[in-house]
Amino acid sequence: MRPILEVHKYSMDYLTDEGRVQALREVSLSIAKGETHALVGESGSGKSTLAWSIMRYLAPNAEETGGAILVSGEDMIGKSAAQIRKMRGNRIAMVFQDPSTSLNPTMRMGEQLVEVLMRHRGLNRKAAWAEGKAGLARTGIAKPAEMMLRFPHEASGGEKQRVGIATAFACDPELIIFDEPTTALDILTANQILDLFVTLRNETGVAALYISHDLGLVSRIAHTVSVIHRGRIVEQGTVDQVFRAPAHDYTRGLMAAVPKPLERIAVPGPTTTTSLIQLEGVTVRYGDPGWLTRMLNPQAIGHTGAESVTLDVRPGELLGIVGESGSGKSTIAKVASGLNAFTGTIHFDGRAFTSRDALDHAYRRDVQIVFQHPDSSLNPRQTIGTILSRPLKLYGIVPADQVQARVRELLEMVLLPADFATRYPHQLSGGQKQRVAIARAFAAEPKLVICDEVTAALDVSVQAAVARLLVDLQARSGAACLFITHDLNLIRQLAHRIAVMQRGRLVDLFDVADADGPGRHPYTRALLDAVPVLESPAP
Amino acid sequence: MRRILRSPTGLIGSILLAIVTVAALLGPWIAPYDPQAFDVTARLQGPSLTHLLGTDQYGRDLMSRILNGAPTTILFGVFATALGVGVGSVIGVIAGVAGGRTDGIIMRILDGMLAMPELLFTLLIVTFLGGGSTQAMLAVAVTFAPGMARIARSSVLSVRTREYVLAATARGESRAWIVGREVLPNALGPIIVESTIRVSFAIMIGATLGFLGLGAQPPSTEWGLMVAEARQFMFRNPWCVIAPGAVIAITAMGFNLFGDALRDAFDPKRSR
């Protein structure tokens, strides 16, 4: 039987100010009916470009340089715009990464779903509405009729993504392209969406191209996989073949970089149980209404970022804080680094602080923070040298005449060439920028480094390197670390103890060794069970 | 700069701006005639070889008068804008950095000022201060300040929550250092762009004031005033209205296009 999607030696270039950039090079793949083909690659590898090429939605500066894209044997490249419009949504559909931006915020979700049905299946409004309701019910939404009448902002991320999926399946397409449909969702929701995907796929027998950077996830849902690197497919085969015995070096590197919870890379644990920093009953409230608002609307209330959180970090320890987005884990990071007002007490090194303003220069020197986004955590108008020398001068770490030498040392410490000191942040890659941010934190010779999702914005292979670097620096400096993340596999490799937060509260705090033990909070259990773990390839 | 010249808007804007700058710097010296010399035999003439743009009601050479008026008119626009932008930005930065109640009070006052149409507001100030170039300049500056304050504030606010500013705060940097070294350099782009575009407004408001007789006084060669004086002779020689009017338009367009191109060049999203 003829495959649904065939891509034959397809090549494409982007014409940019800097000249021609090869986006895709002789890409070939085919997907049969009922098959899920995963396309795995890091950012910039061309995986989304391929998805858009199949949908025939090219950037204005794209130039196709050869190859063919066939859907059920029909050549897509030669089709007119009108023919393409007839196919999109009808025979090929797409599910996007971020459900909060892929739905029109000014239209009821039902209308967006019905629109597709009316256009492609020629149903009248009433029939389309009934059909849409049935489609939504298939995606496991409890009250589809009600959901149809809601606007996107009245639904949760998971519900929105279900609507997106229902829209994609609405016209029984032959092919659906999934562009990282779970990346923007919380682990637990993402898991439900994946289950839904598998159910619907088995019901409808649709061919699916599943784009992802998450190897663990792919191994769970796909039949076949292509690994794409710099616009070329470096390896292709069934999931079993590729993941059990990766043939290409790049695939092997990628597999090795995926965090595996049982391969510890942590520094030796702390020997004492005394604490370096202790948060006691820390509560953070946001947006408390002013007196005028309270007068006009007595019901107006603020929002709690963290509710009486008590936890401690021991000297030299790495404490992980995990939780979904909005669970308050970043709030804790901001409190500890003196960026957020709080009530409660912070005990640090024998001293107690009860408000943000009480946190003094000495405290700020001893507690440093590294942020999530390397692109925005370095001032774009300062050179790397200026950025790194600032903490040295501010805290008087070294005499003025040795600052330059120390900056070079710091760069070498994070494995960057010393001549980076004269560069500007935009000349560096994401991973390099994050190394600079880490060097800046360690430049102050702190006792505690707070890492707020430092690996979340990086590619898998870079992530692993940054994590290793952090552990290495921790071992050398003896600093403790508060590591905030949503990546449970990674934190199980790094941390000595893990704190779990949910809706602003600390629900669980345990030794890493006890992760699988009894006595875990049900929420912790659910989180741990939800993460896909990639098995190590056979040696 | 290379990026500005590569776009058509930027190229045209830069060329126009170059011409205008040369006129503003050298105008009085390259003018072929004395701008105030009467020539009774050659009144209200159209363009000819002797008088390239024609003559006005007293037989004065229009080309010479325009060139002579270039420094006054353009410097008026530049200085008025610089003053307005300077004052406005300082207010805006203070509001943006202070936040909270200070911000609220400052911005509500400015909102009140912004509610008045720009030209009316200028006229109001001029009637208080009296006519004349300096007064008109002050009036334009005062009119510009609230708008600029708003732009400066929003620019500061967007930078203030970036992680490198948070990092500086967490380090325990002084407020002056955070504002001067982390926030301002990154918030300056939109302010510079907006002020380039505003120069053209200033020139036009200045010309309007001149036209209404509230700005420069005769026998000044300010362009708006030239249009006003020539108004009654418009049907006998349209050139004495068209010529200064067109130069005002060209200058305004030059600053406008250049400002647009500058904005595009500053916008990292537009550079691929």
pLDDT of residue A347: 92
Spell out the alpha helix ranges (H) of A395-510.
Answer: 403-413, 430-443, 460-477, 488-494
Residue A500 phi/psi, 5-degree rounding, is -115, 130
Please say if the pLDDT value at position B51 is more than 80: no
CA torsion A344-A348-A353-A355 (nearest 10°) is -60
Size (chain B), residues: 272
Is there a domain that residue B245 lies in?
A: no
Spell out the alpha helix ranges (H) of A358-454.
Answer: 361-366, 384-394, 403-413, 430-443
Pairing mode of beta strands A277-286, A232-238: unpaired
Of A339, A367, A391, the CB nearest to B169: A339
Is there a domain that residue B98 lies in?
A: yes
C-alpha B127/C-alpha B96 separation (Å) is 33
Confidence of residue B272 (pLDDT cuts 50, 70, 90): very low
Is there a domain that residue B243 lies in?
A: no
C-alpha A416/C-alpha A407 separation (Å) is 11
Pairing mode of beta strands A74-75, A175-179: unpaired
Pairing mode of beta strands A175-179, A207-212: parallel
Is there a domain that residue B135 lies in?
A: yes
Question: From the CA of B185, how many Å to the nearest CA of chain A?
Answer: 7
**% of chain B beyond a pLDDT of 90:** 10
Span of A59-68, A504-513, B59-68, B261-270 with lowest mean pLDDT: B261-270
Tell me if A394 and B162 make a contact (CB, 8 A cut-off): no
> Between vectors from CA A469 to CA A335 and to CA B162, what angle results, nearest 5°?
40
Side chain identity, residue B156:
V
DSSP of A188-202, one letter per residue? HHHHHHHHHHHHHHH
Range of the domain at B265: 2-238+253-271
pLDDT of residue B267: 62
Is there a domain that residue B219 lies in?
A: yes
- If you measure CA to CA, which chain A residue comes closest to B164? A377
For residue B162, the chain A residues in CB contact (below 8 A) are 376
Side chain identity, residue B15:
I
C-alpha A217/C-alpha A249 separation (Å) is 21
| Residue A105, both tokens | 């915020």
Of A339, A367, A390, the CB nearest to B166: A339
Choose from A441-445, A516-520, B48-52, B243-247 the range with maximum mean pLDDT.
A441-445
pLDDT of residue A321: 93
pLDDT of residue B40: 73
End-to-end CA, chain B = 16
Of B164, B173, B272, the CB nearest to A378: B164
Question: What is the side-by-side strand order in the sheet with A277-286?
Answer: A303-313, A277-286, A343-348, A351-353
For residue B7, the chain A residues in CB contact (below 8 A) are none
Task: Establish if B100 touches chain A: CB-CB under 8 angstroms.
Answer: no
Q: What is the pLDDT along chain A (539 residues), one digit of tens a residue?
A: 788 999 999 999 988 777 788 889 899 999 999 899 999 988 888 888 898 899 888 888 888 888 899 988 888 888 888 888 888 888 999 998 888 888 898 999 989 989 888 888 888 889 999 999 998 988 888 888 888 898 988 888 888 999 999 999 888 899 999 998 888 788 888 888 889 999 999 989 899 999 988 888 888 889 999 999 888 999 999 988 888 888 888 888 888 888 887 778 877 877 777 888 888 888 888 777 777 777 777 777 777 888 888 988 998 899 999 988 778 888 899 999 988 888 999 998 888 898 888 888 889 999 999 998 888 889 888 899 999 999 999 888 888 888 999 999 999 989 899 889 988 888 888 889 999 999 999 998 999 999 998 888 888 888 888 888 999 999 888 899 999 988 888 898 889 999 999 888 899 898 888 888 888 888 888 888 887 777 655 44
CATH number, domain of B182, equals 1.10.3720.10
Of A26, A40, A21, nearest to A179 (Cα)?
A40
For residue A361, the chain B residues in CB contact (below 8 A) are 172
Is there a domain that residue B248 lies in?
A: no
Is there a domain that residue B139 lies in?
A: yes
Kindly tell me the number of DSSP H helices and DSSP E strands found in chain A: 20, 20
pLDDT of residue B34: 78
Instruction: Please answer whether residues A98 and A48 qualify as being in contact, where contact means their C-beta atoms are separated by less than 8 angstroms.
Output: no
Average pLDDT over residues B205-229: 80
* CA B242, B245, B247, B249 torsion-angle sign: negative
Domain count, chain B: 1
pLDDT of residue B268: 53
The residue of B6, B171, B179 whose CB has the most chain A CBs within 10 angstroms, and thus the best one to mutate to test that interface, is B171
Burial of A374 (0-12, 13-18, 19+ CB in 10 A): buried
Tell me if A371 and B186 make a contact (CB, 8 A cut-off): no
Task: Establish if A61 touches chain B: CB-CB under 8 angstroms.
Answer: yes
Average pLDDT taken over every residue of chain B? 83
C-alpha B3/C-alpha B261 separation (Å) is 9
Task: Establish if A182 touches chain B: CB-CB under 8 angstroms.
Answer: no
Confidence of residue B75 (pLDDT cuts 50, 70, 90): confident
Q: Give yes or no for a cis peptide into A391 (omega within 30° of 0).
A: no
Is there a domain that residue B246 lies in?
A: no
Question: From the CA of A468, how many Å to the nearest CA of chain B?
Answer: 23
